[in-house]
Amino acid sequence: MIARKRAKEQLRPRSPDPVEGRKHIDVQTELYLEELSDRVEEADVEIQTDAFLDRPPSPLFIPAKSGVDVDTQIYEGDVSILTLFACQINRSTVLMLDSTSKRTRCLILFASQTNRASELMSK
């Protein structure tokens, strides 16, 4: 592990040694100067929070109405309307699921045929 560190240090690009009578120093290249020191500036600050004041409870949020309210009244003898609605929804759902599964099967067959054709062409 130590050998690895030494090898990395040797491979790292370095600036050439200074000319006789001169020495290298660290120079800041930022747009502003910053005083460099080994000591970190510290400061102690104390604060006191205000006591919590009693406030009235927040009112219940009720969103403003938008649009027109519409309702449907189904009387006691009108169960056939609900049944008809449920049957139509059920048919629509079955049709959507059936068409989705057919499309999926087609895509899978197409992918398998494409893979088989590429295997035959590569031979």
Kindly tell me if the per-residue pLDDT of 82 is higher than 80: no
In a domain, 102, yes or no: yes
* C-alpha pair distances (Å), 12 with each of 5, 15, 72, 78: 11, 10, 80, 87
In a domain, 71, yes or no: no
In a domain, 103, yes or no: yes
Higher-pLDDT residue of 5 and 111 is 111
Q: How many structural domains are present in the chain?
A: 1
In a domain, 79, yes or no: no
Q: In the chain, what's the furthest Cα-to-Cα distance?
A: 110
pLDDT band of residue 104 (cuts 50, 70, 90) is very high
pLDDT, mean of residues 53-78: 82
In a domain, 12, yes or no: no
The per-residue pLDDT for range 5-61, each reduced to its tens digit, is 887 777 777 778 888 999 888 777 778 777 777 888 888 988 887 777 778 888 899
Kindly tell me if the per-residue pLDDT of 113 is higher than 80: yes
Residue 106 is predicted with a pLDDT of 92
Chain centre to alpha carbon of residue 53: 39
Domain range for 113 is 95-123
Kindly tell me if the per-residue pLDDT of 73 is higher than 80: no
The per-residue pLDDT for range 84-99, each reduced to its tens digit, is 777 778 788 888 888 9
In a domain, 114, yes or no: yes
